[in-house]
Amino acid sequence: MQQNELYPIFLKVSELEVLIVGGGNVGLEKLTFLLKSSPNAKVTIVSINFLPELIALAQNHDVEIIEAAYHNSFLKGKHIVIATTDNIAVNIQVYSDCKQQNILVNVADNPPYCDFYMGGIVTKGNIKIAISTNGKSPTLAKRLRQFLEEAIPNDINELAENLNNFRKTTGGTFSEKVKTLNELTKSLLIK
């Protein structure tokens, strides 16, 4: 059985520079996904054409729109790049340029040209769960996200806040704190 070897991380995209190349349907999907999870993300989008919905979304966030053909000069100062054009040659050029400059890159719908995947995300206040199918099935990730959104109660954030406050008052060594919190939260597991 193949194992998912991706390492999940949560990026502070409000402190990183993100570039999306392409202003069509896939660009809109990636921007929507990014801003839903991180409304304060710093994003630049470069494209020859833009969907009106993408422009409207960008105007409500910290998103810069540049109407131009892709050139590697747009990579300057970028940390993460997402290529979404309908031109495979342009997307592969974006990938190659990013690899030369050690910039993390995702070429939409083309797993061999991805350093990372944008999986399903469930957010309930401070609680965030990322779902990955290792690039195999975005539809399954979407269904799992929908299931978890329904299964996790909306007041889970209150529990996280209360546990954080309790953790601050707990004395002892690190392992004693872990033992105390494990004991306190073991009833959360469904058996």
Per the listing, tokens 């990955």 go with 132
| 97, two tokens | 């340029």
- Residue 89: pLDDT over 90: yes
CA distance 24 to 55: 10
**Which CATH number applies to 17-118?**
3.40.50.720
pLDDT on residue 189: 62
Sign of CA dihedral 12, 16, 65, 88: negative
Measuring CA to CA, how many Å separate 10 from each of 39, 70, 119, 145?
A: 14, 28, 12, 17
For residues 178 and 45, the model is more confident at: 45
pLDDT tens, residue by residue, 111-164: 899 999 888 888 888 888 999 888 788 789 889 999 999 988 888 888 778 777
pLDDT digits (tens, 9 = 90+) for 13-57: 999 999 999 999 999 999 999 999 999 999 999 999 999 999 999
pTM: 0.84
Map out the domains of the chain as residue ranges: 17-118, 119-152, 158-188
Third-level CATH fold of 119-152 = Double Stranded RNA Binding Domain (3.30.160)
